[in-house]
């Protein structure tokens, strides 16, 4: 009986793929593709950490294999782990750390953020107050301002383009979502400060590399991913 050239082992947070040492790489790739295709249904949309074992791979080969796996299987590879770090605990930690980049956790801040003040958080933030011009809020998750937003805001600071900003009154100097930056129009300063803030609650999000600011409606909220 022919020994299996590719074996997949899994625990709750990670996959270990044991590879045959002798098989030529192109053949091995096909074999991996087959294996993952066969178990595609089993993995459906899981987020996993990945470890290769049994064979030393160059970074290029490793990358090729990850490509093959994600093409053949609805699996999100969060990270590739070295074999020596291979414990369920380490994988768990890595996956959870990555997940927190989406800002699933949140915290509250009460008070008005004034010029020169900076509020930074690893999590999402809900602000009970205004963010005045000259103040700055940085979050790896999302930000909701229950007041008027006139300062600078940076959400998805770890690179999450799905992050959003919502405010009761939206008139920021600058919005940055992941790596997309938008600034306010060059209205005259006086009219900007004078302008009775438009009281429609709005939400800002990224779509196709652009920041959109829309009134909060069921349709818009339906498109938000968190």
Partner 1 sequence: MSEVIVITSGKGGVGKTTTTANVGTGLAKLDKKVVLIDTDIGLRNLDVVMGLENRIVYNLVDVVEGNCRIKQALIKDKRYPNLYLLPSAQTRDKTAVSPEQMVKLIQELREEFDYILLDCPAGIEQGFKNAIAAADRALIVTTPEVSAIRDADRIIGLLEANDIKKIDLIVNRLRMDMVKRGDMMSIEDVVDILAIHLIGAVPDDENIVISTNQGEPLVGDSSMAGMAYMNICKRVLGEDVPFLDLNSKEGFFTRLGKLFK
Distance CA 126, CA 71 (A): 38
When binding is defined by CB under 8 A, the residue of 39, 47, 132, 162 that contacts partner 1 is 132
Is 22 among the residues that bind partner 1 (CB under 8 A)?
no
From first CA to last CA, the distance across the chain in angstroms is: 48
**Which residues touch 152 (CB under 8 Å, ≥6 apart)?**
135, 136, 137, 172, 173, 174, 175, 176
User: Is residue 182 a contact partner of residue 212, using CB atoms and an 8 Å limit?
Assistant: no
112 makes contact with partner 1 (CB under 8 A): yes
How near is the Cβ of 51 to partner 1 at its closest, in Å? 48
119 binds partner 1 (CB under 8 A): no
Contact 94, 218 (CB under 8 A): no
Residue from 24, 59, 116, 222 in contact with partner 1 (CB under 8 A): 116
CB of residue 216 to partner 1, shortest distance in Å? 22
Selected from 3, 82, 110, 189, the binder of partner 1 by CB under 8 A is: 189
Does residue 130 belong to the site contacting partner 1 (CB under 8 A)?
yes
Pick one of 18, 134, 173, 180: the residue that binds partner 1 (CB under 8 A): 134
Does residue number 199 form part of the binding site for partner 1 (CB under 8 A)? no
Q: Given the structure tokens 């498109």, which residue do they identify?
A: 223
Q: Does 110 bind partner 1 (CB under 8 A)?
A: no
Q: What are phi and psi of 66, to 5 degrees?
A: -60, -40
Whole-number Å distance between alpha carbons of 145 and 95? 29
Q: What is the smallest separation between the CB atom of 193 and partner 1, expressed in angstroms?
A: 5
**Per CB under 8 A, does 115 bind partner 1?**
yes
Longest dimension (CA), the chain: 82
Judged by CB under 8 A, does residue 185 bind partner 1? no
Contact code string over 141-180 relative to partner 1, x by CB under 8 A: ---------x------------------------------
Pairing of strands 174-177, 152-155: parallel
Q: Which of 58, 190, 209, 218 binds partner 1 (CB under 8 A)?
A: 190
- 152 sits in which H/E element: strand 152-155
Query: What is the contact surface with partner 1 in residues (CB under 8 A)?
Result: 111-117, 130, 132-135, 150, 189-190, 193-194
């Amino acid at each position: 009986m022919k020994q299996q050239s590719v074996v997949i082992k899994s625990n709750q947070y990670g996959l270990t793929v044991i590879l045959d040492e002798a098989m030529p790489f192109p053949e091995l790739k096909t074999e991996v593709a087959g294996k993952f295709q066969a178990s595609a249904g089993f993995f459906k949309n899981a987020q996993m950490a990945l470890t290769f074992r049994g064979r030393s791979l160059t970074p290029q080969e490793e990358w090729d294999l990850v490509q093959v796996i994600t093409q053949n299987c609805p699996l999100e590879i969060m990270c590739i782990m070295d074999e020596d770090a291979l414990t369920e605990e380490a994988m768990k930690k890595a996956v959870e750390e990555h997940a927190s980049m989406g800002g699933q956790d949140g915290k509250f801040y009460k008070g008005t953020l004034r010029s020169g003040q900076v509020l930074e958080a690893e999590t999402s933030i809900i602000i009970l107050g205004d963010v005045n011009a000259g103040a700055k809020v940085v979050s790896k998750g999302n930000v909701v301002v229950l007041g008027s937003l006139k300062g600078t805001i940076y959400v998805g600071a770890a690179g999450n383009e799905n992050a959003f900003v919502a405010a009761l009154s939206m008139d920021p100097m600058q919005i940055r979502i992941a790596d997309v930056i938008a600034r306010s129009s060059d209205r005259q300063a006086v009219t900007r400060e004078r302008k009775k803030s438009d009281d429609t609650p709005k939400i800002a999000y990224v779509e196709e590399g652009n920041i959109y600011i829309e009134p909060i409606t069921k349709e818009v909220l339906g498109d938000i991913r968190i």
